[in-house]
Structure 1
Amino acid sequence: MNAHVAFGASDFLPMMRDRQWANTTPQLVLCRRVIEETPDVKTFVFTSPTDRMFCFSAGQYLLMHLKIEGTAVTRSYSVSSPPTRPLDIQITVKRTPGGLVSNWLHDNLRPGDEIEIEGPLGSFNLDDLPYEKLLFLSGGSGITPVMSMLRALTDRATDQDISFVHSARTQGDIIFRRELDALASRFPNVRVNCVCSQEDPNWSGPTGRIDSRMLLTLVPDLRDRTVFACGPEAYMKAARACLDAIGVAESRYRQESFGGSSSPQFEPASTMPSSVRFVRSGVAHNCLPGETLLDAAGQCGVYVPTACQQGVCGTCRIAKLSGEVAMDDLGGLTTEEKLTGYVLACCSRPQGAVSLDL
């Protein structure tokens, strides 16, 4: 019996590797299904046209490369499906008023269509931190990466203690509500609390915006948990302030957030002549005052993947080989990445001559 199992595993694993999705360059995927989650949220299910399997970490995101009205557009969307189900990959998108890409996806993308994606990418995942007890915090469509994590853990029938607190405007806006209820019912180690910000006589759960008192009421042992949080900028600021007030150590906190209400305002840090050399590409660019590394790459025709362009998501991370930059990021790099020489192209401006490993 043991010999049979060993043979099966050794035979199966190489086949798995041969079928893994190659995520190093943008590639086409096929839209198989569109699921309406709420009135303004849809899940898009993609498969590989060549029957590849998707290999990623729960919490990562995709870059969507689209052409809308003749203009090339790139956006980041977190993967909402778990890596334990590798035959498809899913994103869950909220329609944003005035949002170019979210509205295009809702109005135009249909089963049978092909689009170009890159990734999965990103360091927001369960692989980085040791944890015994978890707290997932999410607001609105920020539920998508932590839902991927929850699905992966429950697919593996984990016995780890998991608490999930999700905030929405109304109960009709709670994404994945039925699935969250089902998981909490099925797994005694999973506790789910949904919070609605708007008053509703038909809603019996917590109401209002999260604060320290509410979080400690819902999760009394919060200080003992590792926290993964994702949501809009205002939600993330409130969540971080609550956790700081409660005394949650920074080492126990990870967050993900794409975009915000406004872009950071940059002032040129220097008027000295600056240049950027892309070593592997063999090209260089003399920069104007205030130009970013991303601007320089565009001038040279060097491709740099980018998404938020605010120093948040980390998509445009590049290894700096020499020189100095002025970087005004919003948390897109870890301390370790900064110490090893990585910079974000979207928000780094060269200070003199800079060379990059690109």
Structure 2
Amino acid sequence: MILDYAQFGDVVNFDTTFFTNKEYRPFGIFAGFNHHRGVVIFGAALLYDETVESFKWLFETFLETNGQKKPITIFTDQDAAIEKAILEVFPETWHRLCTRQIMQNSIKHLGNLMKDETSFLKDFKTCMSHYEEELEFEKAWKKLCNDYRVENDLWLDRIYGLKEKWAKCYMKKTFSIGMQSTQLSGKLNGDLKDYLKFSLDIVQFFKHFERVVNDKRDKELKVEFDARNKLPRNLFSKSPIMKQAGEVYTPWIFEEFQEEYKWISACYIKFRNESNALYEYVVAVVEQEGDFKVLCNLFESMVECSCRKFETFGILCCHALKILDVLDIKFIPEAYVLKRWTRAARDMVVKDNKGKQVEEDVHLDS
């Protein structure tokens, strides 16, 4: 798990669940995505309770075990104790809330607004996941409150106060690798139920939990084997940039990259300024709303887009790829090939908190 966290612990999902152990204690799991976008477990603990002090102890112990490496972003359910512990232990980490849980809570707290087939839930979801710009979000939120006469609703006020933790326009500031909720933990809980029984004692419980971890590793081994023995289908086989992508990215990420590349032909340049070292462009997409500002410095191999696809997910967007194509750049600049998404993601030396090299798990030997 130390090795997994060192390689893929940039974005972490933390969740607690009950009913999986005889002691009826909360079971906390740290998890994330590997380079194949498969679920990987970084750590787990059986807690006595869900107080601030318990979470602080858990987070501090987790950091100590992993050489004080802190995640860039952590996703959790909305919980005051977890939030306070994160602020104290991970003050520099972006804390994001599970959007799925917020939607469920909106039904719980505002179910009366969903009677008579109103569009409240749809409009609320649009506020959460549609708007790219903060001003657009603010206008839409104000309209939502006015249209449904909920300007003074306490739950909505609390959620609005946490908008930077869930609204899409604010999530653009965060490296999230596409994670939006703790649904990942829901999948893990389902796997746990396949192995764990309520009657198990602590020793039996963790032995069975190790079986779940080993299952995840076995699945990665199979995916890794398949990836090494066949390249994904390249729809643009004559393109040097796509050939490079097929060779360096894992198949799942290559498909994501190829999907962006497909949109290049639909992108067009509305404005350009190439008079300075830093080129400026405004790119739009046919039959789609919104303009995107792309900056490019040829001398520094720099290309940035206002959609922030690379900064949030880790691959270049179609708007940036359009500019590379226009400028006749045939390969992805090295700075924009994120190692965590490549076939070589696990090629690194990892040391534990005592400075000893961590050996790769036998289940992941090629």
- TM value normalised by structure 1: 0.28
- TM value normalised by structure 2: 0.28
Considering fraction of residues, name the structure with more strand: 1
Q: Which has the larger radius of gyration?
A: 2
Greater relative contact order (Cα < 8 A, sep 6+): 2
Considering fraction of residues, name the structure with more helix: 2
